[in-house]
Amino acid sequence: MPSFTLLGQSLVSGVLVGGLYGLVALGLSLSWGLLRLVNLAHFAFAFLGAYLVYQMGTSWHLSPWWAVLLIVPLFFALGVVQHAIFLYFRVVELTSLLVTFGISVIIESALQWIWTADFRRFETPYASVSLKIGAMYVPVVELIGCIAAAGLAWATWAWLRWTYVGKALRATAEDPEIAVAFGVNQRFLSFLLSGVCAAYAGIAGAFIALISTLAPSQIWAWLGVVFAVVIIGRLGNPLGALIAGMLIGAAESVAMATFSPAWAPVVSFSALIVLLLWQPDWL
Amino acid sequence: MTRTAQPWRRRHVLAGLAGALSAGFAATSRAAPSGKPVRVGSTLSLTGPLAPTAIIHKISGEIAVEMINKRNGFLGRPVEWLLLDDQSKPEVARSLYEKLITVDKVDLITGPYATAPILAAMGVAQRYQKFYVQNSMGIPKHLTYEMAFPATPFGSEPDKTFPKVLLDAMASTATPPKSIAILTSKFPSAQFMALGTREVAKERGLNVALYLEYEFGTRDFGAMAARVKDANADFLWVGSLGLDSNLLLEALKKLDYAPKRHFHLYPAPGPLALSPDGDLALSSTFLEPAPPFLDRPDVPELAKEYKERATKANVPYTELDAQGAGMYSQWQILEQAVNGAKSLDDKAIAQWLKKNGATTIYGKLRFDGPFNHGDPAQLVKQVQNKKWVVVWPTAFAPPGVKLIAP
């Protein structure tokens, strides 16, 4: 029987890692839920962001926090360009899977060409720093990542709920023809949202660079669990993505603490299958 | 002054003449290889997750081919290495070996890097009855093809022999460990060694405080670190690959915990040695570029050449290690077997090798045991001053170097 300290520590670790799942899932959830585009390239964008943060940090000694300020507008532009290509080629929900898979492969190859297949680790002085709260240790970088994920998820939720643009985006996702009839500029909004999603991928990439090991093939390692987070959290629901991420992270971590680490990947997909069979109203 | 200088000068002239004559003799007796090249085909994981280690094999293999061609090549003919990229994928390795044999029509093949591609390529070698030598197969019992040979002295049961060596090393310290925590990747060769270590540890009366397996490619070591800390064993054994060890040690540090003694099975050598958390980490090896290994033929030249080329190729750890040595040994075996059998016929080469063995930078290797394996020669190395040094058995440690056991 694991000790309370072990369970508590595992929960803390799991929730914080889940925050990162939520952060990666945020852009994908918005793109899928509101633009009806399943953007697999979102993972590749996140890793491109991670490598850029790594490069800026190791070559120019630029703090990752400053690097994010450069990456956000850059990735926003990247998202807009990507959406222009989607519109030009009339990419829809199903074809977006194939097209964005291709884009991911291209980005993966580019990463491998530039940074090679070697594992890269962005060493920072604060990478191993933790706060001690009672018997628990809270890693600082993961905590900041989790706070950033929560802040972005809440801000996005508020934006969608209370602003005109947010309401227009939701209306467009619900019924595009009626939304256009009410004067919503659907084209402009889709470019805006695509840019925002890509910028979120860049921010997630910064935290991936700080927390995780970088290798081009790692793009695919995040795919399964983040997809589960997006679906469990409900498409287009930023708070749902965050909560689902934290729940899955915590469940995986507790499974690792009580059973075996090898059981961790089973958790997210089991939860997904159960929910798909159960089909609750909120899903 | 002038008088004393004359005999000195005379001696040098005589020595110079003798040197020139002997060099000339060597040059005539060891003619440069000529004629149609002998083409040897193989794959390495030049891209994909195995690439960081495969680059070590590539550098070492290129040096080996150059050195063979400086000698007499294969049967007096130059050697040409046709190297393809298997992308770290066993299925790609399988297809490429098929291509090497049927389309490129290479004379000989050698194995790729890592257990899964080696097994995939072995199936093709078996189908075409090709002689097959490889250097990084971690599970000897799977080497069931009669013409498959190992170039690295794992022995036929490394899961039993190496844990004994390691635990002997631990038992020799002032405070031998009483408990062990075993954490391993489910990657087949790592899991295989972890299970063996658990059995040997139990036989020796150690309390196995923790045994955990994790998926290959795991990203989050937070919860596992919490369990390792909770178990607080005297000795941590990690069946790691690549950067797993770095990530685990970092996760442990976040919990303000440093393992008392820690062993890592197949870590990326550079990142662990250079990490601030890697100090005194233990691992396994067969050879390091230090005495007494530098007394063996070819090792000093190989170590020097390897360091230069690895530096140019931006390899993080530029010292020759067991991975590079294994590849060199593989080419030494092929050279001796082909020239010894005086034939490029695969069966003749295999028969000669099985009968005569080969002398490589690992010493004399024999192939007459189970699964064509000979005696095991796995050693224990430790990070000391950001460098790997052999610490056990003590006969293989450089002068003045000892196992440090906090």
C-beta neighbour count of A109 within 10 angstroms: 12
**Angstroms from A120 CA to nearest CA on chain B:** 9
- Rounded distance, CA B222 to CA A12, Å? 9
Say yes or no to pLDDT of A261 above 80: yes
**What local confidence, expressed as pLDDT, does residue B212 receive?**
94
Rounded (10°) CA dihedral B390, B391, B392, B396: 50
**What local confidence, expressed as pLDDT, does residue A282 receive?**
66
Residues paired with residue B149 on neighbouring β-strands, in sequence order: B133
Please name the fold of domain B38-153+293-375.
Rossmann fold (3.40.50)
**What local confidence, expressed as pLDDT, does residue A1 receive?**
67
Say yes or no to pLDDT of B24 above 70: no
**Angstroms from A181 CA to nearest CA on chain B:** 48
Contact A6 B255 (CB under 8 A): no
- Rounded distance, CA B131 to CA B125, Å? 7
Contact B49 A260 (CB under 8 A): no
Arithmetic mean of pLDDT over chain A: 91
- Grade residue B30 by pLDDT with cuts at 50, 70 and 90: low
Which of A213, A252, A267 to mutate to probe the B interface, most B CBs <10 Å?
A213
Say yes or no to pLDDT of B274 above 90: no
- Rounded distance, CA B269 to CA B316, Å? 9
Q: Which two tokens stand for residue A73?
A: 């507008």
Which of B219, B252, B266, B274 to mutate to probe the A interface, most A CBs <10 Å?
B219
> Looking at the complex, does the CB of residue A100 fall below 8 Å from at least one CB of chain B?
no
**HEC profile for B147-176?**
CEEECCCCCCCHHHHHHHHHHHHHHCCCCC
φ and ψ at residue B350, rounded to 5 degrees:
-65, -45
Rounded (10°) CA dihedral A174, A176, A177, A180: 120
**What local confidence, expressed as pLDDT, does residue A276 receive?**
81
Q: Which two tokens stand for residue B364?
A: 């004399």
- The end-to-end CA distance of chain B, in Å, is 60
Q: Which sequence spans correspond to the domains of chain B?
A: 38-153+293-375, 158-285+380-396
Residues 6+ apart with CB under 8 A from A90: none
**Which of residues 177 through 196 in chain B touch A, CB cutoff 8 A?**
186
**What local confidence, expressed as pLDDT, does residue B22 receive?**
42
Residue A43 lies in a domain: yes
Q: Which domain holds residue A60?
A: 19-218
Which of B87, B220, B224, B315 to mutate to probe the A interface, most A CBs <10 Å?
B220
- Rounded distance, CA A190 to CA A196, Å? 10
Residues paired with residue B241 on neighbouring β-strands, in sequence order: B266
Average pLDDT over every residue of B235-253: 91
By C-alpha distance, the chain B residue nearest A141 is B254
Say yes or no to pLDDT of A167 above 50: yes
Residue A226 lies in a domain: no
Domain count for chain A, please give it.
1
Chain B residues touching residue A212 (CB < 8 angstroms): 219
Contact B256 A130 (CB under 8 A): yes
Say yes or no to pLDDT of A280 above 90: no
> Looking at the complex, does the CB of residue A258 fall below 8 Å from at least one CB of chain B?
no
B158-285+380-396 domain in CATH 3.90.180.10?
A: no
C-beta neighbour count of B46 within 10 angstroms: 20
Structural element, H or E, at residue A101 = helix A93-115
Chain A residues touching residue B222 (CB < 8 angstroms): 10, 13-14, 16-17, 139, 142, 253
- The end-to-end CA distance of chain A, in Å, is 34
Nearest to A203 by CA among A101, A67, A33: A67
**What local confidence, expressed as pLDDT, does residue B226 receive?**
92
**What local confidence, expressed as pLDDT, does residue B7 receive?**
39
Say yes or no to pLDDT of A218 above 90: no
Nearest to B168 by CA among B378, B400, B406, B389: B378
Residue A154 lies in a domain: yes
Say yes or no to pLDDT of B16 above 50: no
Average pLDDT over every residue of A251-264: 85
By C-alpha distance, the chain B residue nearest A5 is B230
**Angstroms from B232 CA to nearest CA on chain A:** 12
Question: B350 or B19: which carries more pLDDT confidence?
Answer: B350
Nearest to A265 by CA among B228, B213, B252, B280: B213
* pLDDT, tens digit, 9 for 90 and up, residues B108-150: 999 999 888 999 999 999 999 999 999 999 899 999 999 999 9
**ipTM of this complex:** 0.77
* pLDDT, tens digit, 9 for 90 and up, residues B215-238: 877 778 888 999 999 999 999 999
Question: Of all residues in chain B, what percent carry a pLDDT higher than 70?
Answer: 92
- Grade residue A73 by pLDDT with cuts at 50, 70 and 90: very high
Give A156: exposed, middle or buried? Use CB within 10 Å, 0-12, 13-18, 19+: buried
Say yes or no to pLDDT of B187 above 60: yes
Which of B254, B274, B314, B317 to mutate to probe the A interface, most A CBs <10 Å?
B254
Say yes or no to pLDDT of A180 above 50: yes
Average pLDDT over every residue of B378-388: 95
**Angstroms from B224 CA to nearest CA on chain A:** 7
Contact A9 B226 (CB under 8 A): yes
**What local confidence, expressed as pLDDT, does residue B4 receive?**
39
Q: Which two tokens stand for residue A262?
A: 């090898």
φ and ψ at residue B403, rounded to 5 degrees:
-65, 125
Say yes or no to pLDDT of B259 above 60: yes
Structural element, H or E, at residue A63 = none
**What local confidence, expressed as pLDDT, does residue B28 receive?**
39
Flag the least confident range among A130-139, A154-163, A189-198, B153-162: A130-139
Contact A121 B243 (CB under 8 A): yes
Say yes or no to pLDDT of B3 above 60: no
Structural element, H or E, at residue B271 = helix B269-274
Arithmetic mean of pLDDT over chain B: 90
Tell me how far CA of residue A54 lies from CA of A60, A209, A217, B261, in angstroms.
Answer: 10, 6, 16, 31
Residue A151 lies in a domain: yes
Q: Which two tokens stand for residue B38?
A: 């002998």
Residue A8 lies in a domain: no
Question: Model-level pTM?
Answer: 0.81
**What local confidence, expressed as pLDDT, does residue B235 receive?**
98
Q: Which two tokens stand for residue B239?
A: 């069946």
Nearest to B96 by CA among B107, B87, B84: B84
- What is the side-by-side strand order in the sheet with B38-44? B79-85, B38-44, B108-109
CA within 13 Å, CB half, B54: 27
Contact B215 A264 (CB under 8 A): yes
By C-alpha distance, the chain A residue nearest B46 is A117
Residue A128 lies in a domain: yes
C-beta neighbour count of B347 within 10 angstroms: 14
The per-type count for chain B, helices as H runs and strands as E runs, is: 12, 14
> Looking at the complex, does the CB of residue B312 fall below 8 Å from at least one CB of chain A?
no
Q: Which two tokens stand for residue A219?
A: 């793009």
Flag the least confident range among A159-163, A210-214, B192-196, B344-348: A210-214
Average pLDDT over every residue of B14-27: 42
Flag the least confident range among A40-44, B242-246, B262-266, B285-289: B242-246
> Looking at the complex, does the CB of residue B120 fall below 8 Å from at least one CB of chain A?
no
Residue A65 lies in a domain: yes
Please report which residue ranges of A116-215 form alpha helices under DSSP H: 140-162, 164-174, 176-181, 186-211
- Rounded distance, CA B262 to CA B309, Å? 31
**Which of residues 47 through 76 in chain A touch B, CB cutoff 8 A?**
none
Residue A4 lies in a domain: no
Among the partner-chain residues A13, A127, A217, the one whose CB lies closest to the CB of B48 is A217
**What local confidence, expressed as pLDDT, does residue A120 receive?**
82
Nearest to A64 by CA among A199, A242, A208, A217: A208
- Rounded distance, CA B247 to CA B239, Å? 13
- Rounded distance, CA B364 to CA A223, Å? 49
Average pLDDT over every residue of A85-103: 93
